Every structure is written in structure tokens, then in C-alpha cells.
Chain A
């Protein structure tokens, strides 16, 4: 660790992983509720479990991004963090607020939660993924601004690298776009517009910048390829992400009331959205091919390559599958969407956070060259178990989705099966998805278990200085 203040990333990473485990637990509950409808009812109804599952995902990824930022901004800027104390205070504020929110979801019904948190003063609740009580949303905004100030001052006072500039741009966008979560127009179409300005422009806009910056940083560290080369790739990737992603928001506007031209714009621009992800695959594999050192942390390298491939498959290919308006007319809101959502979030954002954790955590735990061979082997087992399980979840949900479209959406009026009759027909896919989900949980347990193994990777004989750089 080059700068002591980088260590503030540690609690962020640990808490992120705890929430990750919670997210997967609720994923399993949901998977079971798909086939055993009254499982845990009325204690944890489906809508509540789903809210907890998705909200935990978003919050733990935010913890991961913050940890990654606290880790890499000081190192890139070559200076200590502006205020480690502020970072620690904000950690506790965010952790307590997040935990209370989840407990709120689970302990009282949603309407009561809205009353208890004075939602009527500034109504923002009730929208998918943005279900947090207004007070929590304000808390997130305050934490985000404090965080941005802290790392922004750090980045400005030190060396200005492309990685830091791209990362800061992404984070700035993340914070600004969050503000749309507070605007809740009564016109449903307008409401959806602003909702997508948060949801889409996060995951298909600014988060891609964050992912690209973290990936670039990791590749600089692990491969030793010239920073200039990596930065050039990063520029092209983010340019492509923004060119395709911003107008690509239109693929969400197809059936919600806006003018017809969005069918064209949304289709054309989102058809290009796989490109930046494909470039990330080329980028990662090219840099590894041209590497100037063999970094002993093999697990981190595997995560870095894995995230590029899985993001391309999940966000790129599975997104493209149903993004063209004539296709989306039938597939909208089906299990195909769920398949895409699962693999895209896992491939792009879960894996990039696990990549930086895999690289940074051993260093923060006094193992500058990575964990011991045994721990790395276990982590790699976790990687494959989780990744292959996610591939299976995606394939099973795709199968369910295709069948759903075939039975429920394609036939003429009067001949189509009802929603519930269709669900019965595709139950087998849901059972298989549940089994794959259980394997995913197994993979997560193995992954978390790898943190318990002691020992560290030895200093490489010939390249000690290079690997440390």
C-alpha cells in the first residue's frame, strides 16, 4: 500500500461483501417464491423480497465503487486522501442508513414505512429500484456529495491521470443523475423518463466509465503495460459508451408514451451498445498478451478478464437480443429481461468490484503480492462456481422467457395463454434456475471462505521491483 489513507477502502469492501451475501440470500428466497408462491408469506412477500434483493445489489455496488475510489484515487494522484476521517464518518452514515432502510422494508409494510418516513412531504417512494424512503435518498445524496468532495479534492491536488479523470467524471455523473430520483412528476410518461435518467444513465452510462477506469487501473497494475497505451484504450471505450449509451436510453421509451421516433433512435443506438463492451474484451486480453510482468495475484487477473467477457455477454449480447423495437414489442418485461439483468449486473458491476477487491484486499491485509496459492485457488473456485452458475441462471431464464413470449405474447388475441397459465408451463425453468442459484450461493461461500486462509504469495524472484511498481 503506497498511501496509508488508502486503507479506508477496507470497511467499504467488507460491508459490500456482507450485503452481497444478503442479496444472494434474498435471491434464493425469490427463486423459491417463483415456484412455491406462498413461501414465507406473509412475513416476506415477493414484492418485499424483490425490493430487498435489488436494493441490496445497488447499495453494495455503491459501497464497492466507493471503496475502489478511495483505494485508487490517492494512488493515481500520488497523494494521501484529503480526509480519511470524513471517509470513515460517511461509511458509518451510509452503512447505518442502508441497514435501517432494509430493516424498514422487512419489518413494516411499505405504506407504513412511507408514513413513518414522512414520504408525503416530498413523495419519492414507490418506483422500482428507487423504493428507498425519501430520508434515505437524501442521506445517499449527502453521503455522495461528501464522498465526491473528499476524492475530488484529493484528485485535484495530485497527479491528474486519465484513470482518475474518467473515474471522477463517472462518479460526478452518478451523483448528479441521482438527483432525478427526487423528481416525481404525476404524468406517468414523464415520471418514467426521469426514472430512466437515473436507472439507465447509471448502468448504461456513467457506471461504464467507473467500470472502465477501474479495469484500466487494474490492468496497469497487473500487466505493467505502458499507461499511455491503456489510457488511449480507455478514452475510446468511454467515448463509445457515451455515444451509444446516452441516446440508447431510447430503448426504454418504446412503449411508455413518447413520440414514435424513439423506436428508431432507441433501436439504432442501443444496437451499438455492445461495442464498448466488446472493446473492453479486446482491451483486457490485448493488455494481458502484451504484459511485461507476471503478477503473482492470478485471481485478480482472472476476475479482470472475466468481467470483460461476462459484461460483454450479459450487457452486450443479452441486451442486444431484445433491444430492437420489433423484437422488444414481444419480449418487453418478459423473463428475457430478467436474464439480461442478471448477467449484465453480475458481469459488468459485481465482477469489476470483485476484481478490485481481489487486487486491493490482500495488499491492505499486508500481502503485497496477493494471497497464498491455496487462498487464490479457493478464490478461483469461487469465481468459476459463481460465474458458471450465473451463466446457467441466464440460460434458464432465457429459456423461460422465450417460451413465455411464444405462449403468451406471440399468439393472436384470444388464443394466447394467460400470464399465470404461462407461468405454470415454464415452472421447470424456474426450478432449474433455483438450483443454479443454490450453486451460486455455494460459489459465494467458497469465495468468502478464501478470505479465511492465511499466508501470502511470495515476492517474485526476478521481477520484485516491477511487480511492486
Chain B
């Protein structure tokens, strides 16, 4: 099926995505500037994190994004299995949620919090702000999965599915920047 070029999802959602990315971009710039001023604190902070958990979170979000993308394409083409893929995506993304909560528990237990130092301020704020976005995204996936259960119709609206998928990919994309920034780059 060929389609003319068009913007998948709603323009409003794209504006929201751009705005959200602007927020994260500003925070990333702030992180880079603060690290340039105080590399020692940032290196010490990074050493306390759990890169294995970070990697697992990354994989879980990438797999979930793959499932959401194929679900959207399938939905657009009227194939079966959209709801199943969305449920699976939701399930896989829970690995991220649990991993993050586990790491918060570990760090908090070791005495680190938002006010510990500049590194942990950025770590806790950036990851928790992102975490909230993931939770919202999981709610969106849930709503879309329920919507996709309904019988397929020729005139169905793909707008909601595409908008939700775009939002989810934004959440995924931000993590792909966050993971190396916080856990990897020395």
C-alpha cells in the first residue's frame, strides 16, 4: 500500500514531543556544563551506578519500541496481533521500571539523594523525570492496547495509534541519550 508523505500522528503531539525534547536538551546541556566544572564529582558519582541495570533498561526500552513500531504498522495495514504486541511492549518495558526502582533503592540505601551533590542531583532528577514519562507512556500503551482489541474497521482512525507510538519513541529516544550520558561516558 503506498501513501502520500504525511505526518504520522497528531501535529499537537509532535509539538508536545518537541517541547519535551527541548526540556531534556536543556537539562543535558546543564549536565555537560556542570560536569566540565567538576569532573571528579561526576566520575565518583558514575562509579556508584549500576551499568548492567542501565543496559538492561536500554534493551527493554528498545525491544518495547520495536514492538510498538510493528504494532502500529500492522494496525495501519489491518493485520491481527496489534493488541498482543502492545501488551508485550508494556510487559517488556516493565523491566525498565523495575530496574530503575531497584537502582533507586540501592542508591538511596547507600545514602545518596537529590541533594547529595551535583552529579546525583542530575542523576535523580533526569532519571526520575524520565521515569515519569515512561509511566505515562505505559498508560498510553495500555489505552492503545484496549483500543486495538475492538473489531477492525475500514474507516478506523490511525491517528491515536500513531500519536501514542510517537510519544513512546520519544521516551525511548531520551533514554538512549540518558544511558550513555549518565552511566557510560567518562
Contacts and interface: CB of A to CB of B under 8 A. Distances in A.
Interface string B111-134: 000110010011001000000000
B30 A264 contact: yes
Contacts of B91: none
A80 B170 CA distance: 44
Contacts of A239: 16, 19
Nearest to B11: A232
A264 B115 CA distance: 12
Interface in A273-319: 275, 279
Interface in B1-38: 10-12, 15-16, 19-20, 22-23, 26-27, 30, 34
B114 to A, nearest CB: 6
Interface residues on chain A, size class: 20 to 34
A265 B125 contact: yes
A269 interface: yes
Contacts of B26: 268, 271-272
Contact of B20 (A232, A243, A267, A268): A243
A272 B115 contact: no
Given A233-B12, A235-B12, A236-B15, A261 B23 contact: no
A73 B23 CA distance: 34
A240 interface: yes
Contacts of A244: 23
Interface residues on chain B, size class: 10 to 19
A260 interface: yes
A314 B151 CA distance: 52
A268 B34 CA distance: 13
Contact of A236 (B12, B30, B121): B12
B27 A268 contact: yes
Nearest to A269: B23
A165 B22 CA distance: 27
B23 A272 contact: yes
A240 B19 contact: yes
B15 A261 contact: no
Interface in A324-364: none
Contacts of A265: 125
A418 B122 CA distance: 38
B140 to A, nearest CB: 14
Given A261-B125, A272-B26, 6 more contacts: A243-B23, A264-B121, A264-B122, A264-B125, A271-B26, A279-B15
Q: Closest 6 CB pairs between A and B?
A: A261-B121, A259-B115, A232-B12, A236-B15, A236-B12, A268-B26
28 contacts: A232-B11, A236-B15, A236-B16, A239-B16, A240-B16, A243-B23, A244-B23, A259-B114, A259-B115, A260-B115, A261-B114, A261-B115, A261-B125, A264-B34, A264-B118, A264-B121, A264-B125, A265-B125, A267-B30, A268-B23, A268-B27, A269-B23, A271-B26, A272-B19, A272-B22, A272-B26, A275-B19, A279-B15
Interface of A: 232-233, 235-236, 239-240, 243-244, 259-261, 264-265, 267-269, 271-272, 275, 279
